[in-house]
Amino acid sequence: MEKIIRKDILEMIHSAKSGHPGGALSAVEIMSALYFSDVFRYDVNDSAMENRDRFILSKGHAAPVLYAVLGNAGFFDKKHFKTLRKFGSILQGHPHAKHLNGCDMSAGSLGQGLSIAVGKALALRMKNIDANVYCLVGDGELQEGQIWEATMSAAQLKLDNLCLIVDYNGIQLDGNVADIKDVYPLKEKFESFNFNVIEVDGHNKEELIKAYKMFKANVGKPTAIIAKTVKGKGVSFMENNANWHGLAPNDEELKLALKEIEGGLK
């Protein structure tokens, strides 16, 4: 499934001639482990069911990974992949919840998603609804102050139905996170904010599923899963290369990328 998702991500970005492959490819296993296991509760035929789990993509520019997952899960016809970023499409450059089945938040400015996730988690608890909220952020996004305000609120409110996932690939738009505004050490930071912290290999699906289940068993505090990943994972010339943060592959680059990925599919 992960190779199919990567293929879909690259083809839709190539079709749009714009998009963000690097951070979408780094989050593939994070998303696949969540949606294609027994972790995440959802129903493609009733995406508004009250006791469903909620997913918030705070790093909204990585929308193609969400679209690839939702499409392959059956929330909409995969024919829409070819319409990414086109006028009138349900698949905009950032997710638009009003028009996209299975989408719980419209994304835009970085740093906002965790605040919304905190609000959703609190609302679920106040309504006594047994459901969890998962929020995926980028490591460069952690440079936003609003993230830490939301983190304080989540801990103060003891939101043990909230799971923050950090796509820790080490690279943002302009280069290495460590060189621009270092967020290290993450584990110690989140522990100091009174989070339950789990560190995993973000490309190991079994580790991710185990971490998600540890979150569900945790009581009394929110959880942060720090997933160490590789920007552009799965395509050798995109991996650990900041240039591929927001660059669409041309025809030849797409062929090379798909050849690498489809070798595994065969």
Q: What is the pLDDT of residues 25-55, one digit of tens each?
A: 999 999 999 999 999 999 999 999 999 999 9
Instruction: Report the candidate in 149, 148, 135, 162 with the shortest Cα–Cα distance to residue 223.
Output: 162
Grade residue 97 by pLDDT with cuts at 50, 70 and 90: very high
Whether the predicted pLDDT of 88 surpasses 70:
yes
Prediction pTM value: 0.97
pLDDT at 264: 55
Whether the predicted pLDDT of 265 surpasses 60:
no
All residues at 6 or more sequence positions from 126 whose CB lies less than 8 Å from its CB, including other chains = none
Give the start-to-end residue ranges of the domains of the chain.
2-265
Using an 8 Å Cβ cutoff, are 173 and 140 in contact? yes
**Residue 124: in which H helix or E strand, if any?**
helix 113-126
Query: How confident is the prediction for the chain on average, in pLDDT?
Result: 97
CATH architecture for residues 2-265: 3-Layer(aba) Sandwich (3.40)
Express each pLDDT in 204-216 by its tens digit: 999 999 999 999 9
Whether the predicted pLDDT of 109 surpasses 70:
yes
Chain centroid to CA 179: 23
By the 10 Å C-beta count (0-12 exposed, 13-18 middle, 19+ buried), 259 is classed as exposed
pLDDT at 266: 45
What length is written for the chain?
266
Whether the predicted pLDDT of 180 surpasses 90:
yes
